[in-house]
A and B are shown apart, each in its own frame.
Chain A
Amino acid sequence: MGRFWALIEMEARRLLKFPVVELIAIPAVFYIFRGLMSFDESRTFIGLVEPGSLQGLLREVAGSLIVRGLISILGSYTFISFIYAALTSSIARDISTGYMRFLLSQPFRRSEVFVAKLIVSFLTPLIVYFSVYSISIVAVGGLIVVFMNLLNLVIGYVIVLTLFLYVFSICLCITLITKEAITSLISSLLFLYGVEYTVRMMKNHPVQYFIPSMCLWNFLVRMHCAESTLPWLSVIVPLVLSIALIAICYIYFTKRLEV
């Protein structure tokens, strides 16, 4: 076992003990299946299909599966925020209890410890959601998935990734600022819910096109309506912003953090 993988394994065992993964997976299954099984929405797609074109019908149904799955993931924004606020607050707890001192005293570069923490706390919910999303589409769609537009599926994954990165980066920043578990958890949730609520209130304001989850909803609606020009900035801006925030956290963790 390589030293870095040993670190990841140890951290995963510590953070993802029973029933953490289960608590992420069960609501994910609920949200995504509920979205995919929403037949009311499916009917509207059937109405759009040219009469007599079975292939067109199947393509539309398959496309609707992608969109409905994504809508259900965006709809679980509150839950995703909670997951990441809780997972990143464990980093704050590590700092305040002295566990981070133990980790940083081991023969690792600080960047390795940061990446290990990132892999365990960021990737776990993302992998769970991607897996549930992919399995659910196949389970609900059956053979229809053959007619799926793969490009749309990839765009769907990018949208989910953007949402998760956005939530995670904000939680991570707050965690490294507060360095205290409960404060970090509450501050992250208040910030994320506060921004979401404020952006929803600002009807037709340009900011809605750049702040998740609203900007991703807008993107999805346009994709769903098969508009010729998609608002790519609605995905790119939050994606770049999130990566920048994580980069700032990385620099702080590797160059400034004292434990």
Chain B
Amino acid sequence: MKRLSTSGIVVAVLGLLIVITPIVLPVCESLLELANGKQVPMSCHWTARAEMIFGALIVVVGLMIAFLKKPGERQRLYHQVAFLGLVTILTPLFIIPTCMHPDMACNVATKPALIILGGIVLLVGLAGSRTPTEPSSEATA
């Protein structure tokens, strides 16, 4: 029977939560009308898309951590987890900022949820990258 890393599964679950956040707490659905009459989605639409991709990447890295046996390899992957957590936080703030109005759906629900989840991913990543995972402390699947 293969040994699975609990912390890897935790990372994968956190990634999954990031993927479903824009579905459970949707961003603004209205469209912006440009001067030429064309209607385009608001910037938060793209923030949500980017975050879903980062979430999916976190799921993949989390599963890799869960199935990998060597602590050294896991530790390297935790660096990636920490980086992806940081990117998850920075995306709605600076990389693809959400809408300007603080009362809009993307700012009151989606953005804080993504920042909190990104923060947890970052902490888990940092904790994992500092301590080599011992096989004895892990759950058996």
A binds B: no
